[in-house]
Amino acid sequence: MKPQPFQPETHQNDDRYVVDRSTGLVWHRVQSRTLYADTDRSGVVYHSNYFRYFELGRVTLMRDIGYPYFAVEESGYIYPVVEVGLKFFKSLCYDDAMWIHTRPAALERVRVRFDYLITHADTGQLICQGFTTHCALNAARRPVAVDPQTVKIWRQFPQ
């Protein structure tokens, strides 16, 4: 299946954000490079490592908007992953530069979802798209309503 085109351009003169010309959606982005340790015997990035890249995108987004994970945890909340999805279009190989694009997607009473796109930094080709869903838990590890700061972030992130 051929993916929908992703046509990013810098958003409001801030290189950390892009807007997709084809959808109008704003994405946070961070650049990374694949390590040799990320690849498998066939020379491509092992599939589960894409979830590590998603985490890099997620924690960088949260840090850049002023609510890093240590602050989330200090406020008494944790957000473990409860669901993941990933669709591959191309492969990354050793030392490939990539852009990891992340955006807050769905906000429910006790869950939040992040969406991701990874593109090859040199060619712009879409490598994969995916999501992670997280459940809000308190310090006793019981489900609770999403914390007010996270709700504010989801509502204020450009659509």
Q: Tokens for 120?
A: 């090859």
What stretches in the chain show pLDDT beneath 50? none
pLDDT value for 152: 95
Q: What is the pLDDT of residues 68-79, one digit of tens each?
A: 999 999 999 999
Residue with tokens 């994970």: 69
CATH class label, 8-156: alpha beta
What are 116's two structure tokens?
């991701």
pLDDT in tens, 29-47: 999 999 999 999 999 999 9
pLDDT at 5: 87
Domain coordinates in residue numbering, the chain: 8-156
**Edge-to-edge strand ranges of the sheet holding 126-135:** 8-11, 14-20, 26-33, 97-107, 111-120, 126-135, 81-88
